[in-house]
Structure 1
Amino acid sequence: MAPPAAQAGRPWLGAMPAGEGRTRFRLWAPDAREVLLELADGARHRLQRHDDGSFDITLAVRPGARYRYRIDGRDPVPDPASRWQPDGVHGHSVVVDPHAYTWQHAAWQGRPWRETVLYELHVGTCGGYAGVMAQLPQLVALGITAIELMPLNEFPGRRNWGYDGVLPYAAESAYGSPDELKALIDAAHGHGLMVFLDAVYNHFGPEGNYLHQYAETFFNADAPTPWGPAIDFRLEAVQRYFIDNALMWLHEYRFDGLRLDAVHAIVPNDFLETLRQAIYASVPAGRHVHLVLENEANQAFRLADGYTAQWDDDFHNALHVLLTGEEEGYYAGFSDDPTAHLARVLGEGFAYQGQADHRGHRRGEPSGHLPPTKFVVFAQNHDQIGNRAKGDRLSTLIAPEALRAALALTALTPMIPLFFMGEPWGAREPFLFFTDYAPPLDEAVREGRRKEFAHFAAFADEAARASIPDPNLPATFEASKSDIAASRQGEGAAFAQWFAGLMALRQARLVPALDDARMLGAQVLAPGAIVARWALGTRELQVEFNFGKADIPAPPAAGALLHAENATAKDSRLGPNALRVWLRDALA
Structure 2
Amino acid sequence: MTRSFGAIPAAAGLTRFRLWAPGHSAVMLERQGQAPLPLRREDDEWWSLEAEAPAGTRYRYKLGNGLSVPDPASTAQDGDVDGWSVVTDPAAYEWQHPDWKGTPWPQSVVYELHVGLYGGYKGVIADLPRLAALGVTTLELMPVADFAGLRNWGYDGVLPYAPAETYGTPDELRALVDAAHGHGLSIMLDVVYNHFGPSGNYWGAIAPVFFHQDKANPWGQSIDFTRAPVRDFFIENALYWLTEFRFDGLRLDAVHAIEDDTFLQELSARARQATAGRHIALVLENERNDATLLESDFEAQWNDDVHHCLHVLLTGEEESYYADYSDRPAAHLARALANGFVYQGEESKNLGHARGSQSAHLPPSAFINSLQTHDQVGNRAMGERIAQLAQPEGVRAALLLLLISPQVPMLFMGDEWASERPFLFFTGFTTEELATAVREGRRKEFARFASFNDPERREKIPDPNAPGTFEASRPDPAERLQPRHAAVEAFVGSLLRARKESLAPHLAAATSLGAHALHDTGVRAQWRLGNGAILTVAAQFADAPVACQPGPGEVLAESRPGLAAALAAEGLGGFGAVAWLQQP
Same fold (TM over 0.5): yes
**Distance in 2, Cα, partners of 1:134 & 1:327:** 40
Contact (CA 8 Å) 1:47, 1:56: kept in 2 or not? yes
Equivalent in 149, 152, 173 of residue 157 of structure 1: 149
1:223, 1:343 → 2: CA distance?
Answer: 39
Per-residue deviation, 1:487: 3.6
Please state whether the residue corresponding to 2:535 is helix, strand or coil.
strand
Specify the alignment match of 1:503 in structure 2.
496
Q: CA deviation at 1:521?
A: 1.7
Cα 1:325–1:117 change in 2 (3 A) is: same
Alpha-carbon shift at residue 485 of structure 1 (Å)? 5.4
Aligned counterpart for 2:441 among listed residues 433, 437, 448: 448
* Aligned residue type for 2:506: A
Structure 1: distance between partners of 2:6 and 2:448: 45
Q: Which residue of 1 aligns with 2:263?
A: 271
Q: Give the Å deviation of 1:558.
A: 2.0
Deviation at 1:434, TM superposition (A): 0.2
Name 1:531's counterpart in structure 2: 524
Give the one of 242, 253, 258 matched to 1:250.
242
Residue 136 of structure 1: SS of its match in structure 2? Answer: helix
Cα pair distance change 1:186/1:556, threshold 3 Å: closer
1:375 and 2:371 correspond = no
Deviations 1:66-123 (A, max 9, x none): 0111111423110000000131110000000111100111111111112211110000
Write the distance in 2 (CA, Å) between the matches of 1:556 and 1:386.
Answer: 38
From 508, 511, 530, the counterpart of 1:518: 511
Greater Cα shift, 313-322 or 480-489: 480-489
Equivalent residue number for residue 307 of structure 1? 298
Whether the 8 Å CA contact 2:100–2:181 is kept in 1: the answer is yes
Which residue matches 2:470? 477
Instruction: Give the superposition deviation at 1:486.
Output: 4.2
Report what 2:38 is aligned to: 46
Q: Does the 8 Å contact 2:117/2:473 carry over to 1? A: yes
Give the Cα separation in 2 of the matches to 1:422 and 1:579: 21
Match of 1:561 among 545, 549, 555: 555
Map of 2:181 onto structure 1:
189
Q: 1:280 aligns with which of 252, 259, 272?
A: 272
Among candidates 572, 577, 581, match of residue 583 of structure 1: 581
The answer to whether 1:297 aligns with 2:295 is no
3-state SS of 1:59 partner: strand
Match status 1:343 vs 2:337: no
Moved more, 299-308 or 565-574: 565-574
Residues 219-238 of structure 1 mapped to structure 2, 5 A cutoff:
219-238=211-230
State the distance in 1 between where 2:414 and 2:332 align. Answer: 27
Any idea what the Cα deviations from partners look like across 1:176-196, whole Å, max 9, x if unmatched?
Answer: 000000011111110001110
**Distance (whole Å) between structure 2 residues aligned to residue 551 and residue 411 of structure 1:** 22
Distance 1:196 1:10 in 2: 22
The residue type paired with residue 578 of structure 1 is G
1:176 aligns with 2:168: yes
1:550 deviates by 2.6
TM normalised by structure 1 equals: 0.96
Q: Output the amino acid matched with 1:343.
A: A
Structure 1 range deviating more: 482-491 or 208-217: 482-491
Does the Cα contact within 8 Å between 2:419 and 2:485 map onto a contact in 1? Answer: yes
Cα pair 1:561 1:569 within 8 Å, conserved: no
1:138-157 → structure 2 map (5 Å cutoff): 138-157=130-149
Q: What secondary structure is seen at the aligned counterpart in 1 of 2:292? A: helix
> Taking structure 1 as reference, are residues 557 and 149 closer, same or farther at Cα in structure 2, changes over 3 Å only?
closer
User: Letter of the aligned partner of 1:233 in structure 2?
Assistant: F
Question: How far 1:222 sits from its partner (Å)?
Answer: 3.4
Alignment of 1:106-145 (within 5 A): 106-145=98-137
| Partner residue, 2:10 | 18
CA distance in 2, matches of 1:441, 1:80: 21
User: Over aligned residue pairs, what C-alpha RMSD do you find?
Assistant: 1.2
Tell me, yes or no, if the aligned pair for 2:24 and 2:65 is still in contact at 8 Å.
Answer: no
Aligned-pair CA distance for 1:565: 1.8
2:70 partner SS: coil
Render the CA deviation track for 1:201-222: whole Å, top value 9, x for unaligned: 1110011111111211111133
The answer on whether the counterparts of 1:557 and 1:569 sit within 8 Å (CA) in structure 2 is: no
* Partner Cα separation in structure 2 for residue 166 and residue 273 of structure 1: 24
> Which residue is equivalent to 1:3?
none
Contact 2:397 2:540 in 1 (8 A): no
How far apart in 2 are the matches of 1:213 and 1:415? Answer: 45
1:413-452 equivalent positions in 2, closer than 5 A: 413-437=405-429, 438-452=431-445
Secondary structure of 1:19's partner? coil
Q: Is the 8 A contact 1:339 1:528 kept in 2?
A: yes
Give the drift of 1:557.
Answer: 4.1
- 1:397 and 2:395 are equivalent in the alignment: no
Deviation for aligned residue 1:530: 1.3
Identify which range, 170-179 or 563-572, moves more after superposition: 563-572
The question of whether the paired residues in 2 share the 8 Å contact of 1:135 and 1:484 is answered with no
> Match of 2:483?
490
User: Does the Cα contact within 8 Å between 1:527 and 1:548 map onto a contact in 2?
Assistant: no
- Report the secondary structure of 1:581's partner residue: strand
Partner AA of 1:579 in structure 2: A
TM-score (ref. length: structure 2): 0.97
Aligned residues: 577
**Contact kept in structure 1, 2:72 and 2:159, CA below 8 Å:** yes
Q: By how many angstroms is 1:490 displaced? A: 2.9
User: Within 1, Cα distance between the matches of 2:358 and 2:421?
Assistant: 38
Shift of 1:493: 2.3
Question: 1:546 — aligned with what?
Answer: 540
Cα separation, 1, equivalents of 2:419 and 2:523 = 28
SS of the aligned residue for 2:9 comes to strand
**Superposition deviation, residue 10 in structure 1:** 0.5
CA distance in 2, matches of 1:273, 1:221: 25
| Match in the other structure for 1:5 | none
Quick one: which amino acid aligns to residue 375 of structure 1? Answer: F
Residue 146 of structure 1 deviates from its aligned partner by 1.0
- Shift of the 489–104 alpha-carbon distance from structure 1 to 2, 3 Å rule, reads farther
Task: Give me the whole-angstrom Cα distance separating, in 2, the residues matched to 1:477 and 1:309.
Answer: 30
Q: 2:452: which partner in 1? A: 459
